[in-house]
Amino acid sequence: MSRALQTTTLESPLNDLIDAENLKRVQDQSAKENFRRDETPGLYGEIPLEVVSVQSAHDVEKLVQICMKTKVPLIARGAGSGKAGGAIIETGTKGVICDFRTMNRILRIDRENQLVFVEPGVVLKDLQDAVEAEGLFYPPDPASLSWCTLGGNVATNAGGARAVKYGVTRDYVNALEFVDGRSQKHRVGRPCAKSVVGYNIKDCLVGSEGTLGLLTQMTLRLLPKPRHVGSAVFVFKTRKDAASFISQMSSLSYVPRCAEYLDRESIDSARKLGVPYRFAEDAEAAILFEVDGFHDDALYQELELALKLAEACGSTMHEIALDERARQRIWDSRRALSEATRKRSNYKISEDIVVPRSRIIEMVQTIRERGQGAGLDAFAFGHAGDGNLHVQVCFDDDALRERVLDFHVEIFKEALRMGGSISGEHGIGLAKRESIGLEIDSVTLELHRKIKSAFDPDNILNPGKIFSECA
């Protein structure tokens, strides 16, 4: 009763203010309900008080002012492809969604300087297509690349399969324009190759999940498009053999573009979904390996070296894919894994831990053994080349949820003990907020709160995400 009353009190000044500023808001209630979730399995938030479709940085400034005035939290959102609940409104709280999908222009591609200027709502795939048409290359490639937005990529520092060679989104952000929690607009970084002037505020924004500022424009760095790409699938009879390949990758003396790990359960799920690539029937694990470069002879030599290593690690079968169609078949199958494994059961909770590459054998075994010990359907796939595993637990009975969460916490602790991390690319958001203390101690979390307060003293921007407000 009291909650409904509060909502009414809040809503009227809010929508009046939004209308007075000529901001475009979503009127349809059922459309607003779509904002209760992102791609985090099983996580639902509140229906937003308002969803404002911003058109410009000036719209964003006005919206922040309205939220400051009414003390209503403001949550930035792109495609809602996040996997940590960073763009939903926490249950029991209120919020306005700043929907950036309407700011989706590729403003300029600067071919000579290998830069592109974009608004945050641009879909990653659209950017990749546009720059590749100019012979350029934007490496970050999260599995959601066909629909996720660049603003979300920057806000979460998205990674992807090519990170092992090319790094993550942060490595391609040269400059940002953003609006802070006091509606101040900042331009940080420079639209050139290097700058060491002042604090690195740009990189502080990257990965801050909408809690420090709202991105309104980005300058991204591009590379020449690699001339040749070659892929391989190496099939192994045990997951330990596959993991052993990854551990020994440093002996290759070059950095592959991708080295993805797939457990049998992932492969089976993909097969059931009917993905285009046909994995060998008896595969207990597989590595999807890829190299790229300027010269095709070098490529063949690199693939040959990798094949030798795979065979030395016990690989029983392989396939080399050099043409684009064959490669695409493999990658479409890899990218379908998240969806495919979701269909194994009623519920799925997935995580994205990181371990040092040399510990990947240990981690793969740990997931298997502890999963079996707890009676859980636990397995993994992911960007093993940089030690980033997406640990999956599928279950049918909701009563198992607590046990699954406990399992994940155990895996987090193991990852940290090995020198890894509790998140490699999904971020913390709401989903892992209670676990952040496992990785970051209270003294450093206190420093986080001070940094937050420097950017957003009234705690307007996505409050309660990443870490809770008080110690």
Q: Examine residue 109 and tell whether it contacts its own copies (CB under 8 A).
A: no
Chain residues 301-320 in contact with its own copies, contact rule CB under 8 A: 301-302
CB of 106 or CB of 255, closer to its own copies: 255
Regarding beta strands 315-321 and 185-189, do their DSSP bridges make them parallel or antiparallel, or are they unpaired?
Answer: unpaired
β-bridge mates for residue 39, sequence order: none
Instruction: Return the residue of 168, 229, 287, 393 that touches its own copies, per CB under 8 A.
Output: 168
Residue 5's alpha-carbon distances to 8, 13, 47, 97, 400, in angstroms, are 5, 14, 16, 21, 36
CB of 98 or CB of 163, closer to its own copies: 163
Cα 145 to Cα 290: distance, rounded to the nearest angstrom: 18
Stretch of 193-201, 257-265, 315-323, 365-373 contacting its own copies, by CB under 8 A: 193-201
The nearest distance, CB 259 to its own copies, in angstroms, is 11
Q: Which alpha helices (DSSP H) does 206-358 contain, by range?
A: 239-247, 264-273, 296-312, 324-335, 337-342
The structure tokens 């979701």 sit at 342
The nearest distance, CB 446 to its own copies, in angstroms, is 8
Q: Examine residue 454 and tell whether it contacts its own copies (CB under 8 A).
A: yes
What are 60's two structure tokens? Answer: 């964003």
> One symbol per residue from 251 to 290: x for binding its own copies (CB under 8 A), - otherwise; what is it?
-xxxx-----------------------------------
Chain residues 348-377 in contact with its own copies, contact rule CB under 8 A: 354-358
Chain residues 84-103 in contact with its own copies, contact rule CB under 8 A: none
Cα 266 to Cα 394: distance, rounded to the nearest angstrom: 11
The nearest distance, CB 280 to its own copies, in angstroms, is 28
Of 111, 109, 141, residue with least CA distance to 123? 141
The nearest distance, CB 411 to its own copies, in angstroms, is 15
Chain residues 118-137 in contact with its own copies, contact rule CB under 8 A: 135
Q: Examine residue 470 and tell whether it contacts its own copies (CB under 8 A).
A: no
The nearest distance, CB 362 to its own copies, in angstroms, is 13
CB of 242 or CB of 376, closer to its own copies: 242
The nearest distance, CB 387 to its own copies, in angstroms, is 5
Q: Examine residue 294 and tell whether it contacts its own copies (CB under 8 A).
A: yes
The nearest distance, CB 145 to its own copies, in angstroms, is 17
> One symbol per residue from 403 to 432: x for binding its own copies (CB under 8 A), - otherwise; what is it?
----------------xxxxxxxxxx---x
Query: What string of DSSP letters covers 335-403?
Result: HTHHHHHHTTSSEEEEEEEE--GGGHHHHHHHHHHHHHHTT-EEEEEEEGGGTEEEEEEEES-GGGHHH
Instruction: Return the residue of 3, 30, 444, 470 that touches its own copies, per CB under 8 A.
Output: 444
Cα 274 to Cα 279: distance, rounded to the nearest angstrom: 11
Residues 288, 235: contact at Cβ < 8 Å? no
Q: Examine residue 156 and tell whether it contacts its own copies (CB under 8 A).
A: yes
CB of 289 or CB of 395, closer to its own copies: 289
Cα 47 to Cα 70: distance, rounded to the nearest angstrom: 18
Q: How many CA atoms lie within 13 A of 340 on its CB side?
A: 24
What are 374's two structure tokens? Answer: 């707890």
Instruction: Return the residue of 23, 164, 361, 363 that touches its own copies, per CB under 8 A.
Output: 164
Of 253, 230, 232, 246, residue with least CA distance to 300? 230
Q: Examine residue 244 and tell whether it contacts its own copies (CB under 8 A).
A: no
Of 4, 103, 102, residue with least CA distance to 46? 4
β-bridge mates for residue 30, sequence order: none
CB of 173 or CB of 340, closer to its own copies: 173
β-bridge mates for residue 96, sequence order: 50, 74
Size of the site for its own copies (CB under 8 A): 95
What are 175's two structure tokens? Answer: 């400059």
Cα 251 to Cα 463: distance, rounded to the nearest angstrom: 45
Q: Examine residue 230 and tell whether it contacts its own copies (CB under 8 A).
A: no
Chain residues 4-43 in contact with its own copies, contact rule CB under 8 A: none
Which backbone phi and psi does 191 adopt, to 5 degrees?
-80, 50
Stretch of 13-21, 108-116, 334-342, 393-401 contacting its own copies, by CB under 8 A: 108-116
Stretch of 65-73, 205-213, 260-268, 365-373 contacting its own copies, by CB under 8 A: 205-213
Q: Examine residue 159 and tell whether it contacts its own copies (CB under 8 A).
A: yes
CB of 188 or CB of 270, closer to its own copies: 188
What are 378's two structure tokens? Answer: 């636990």
CB of 10 or CB of 416, closer to its own copies: 416
Q: Examine residue 68 and tell whether it contacts its own copies (CB under 8 A).
A: no
CB of 137 or CB of 147, closer to its own copies: 137
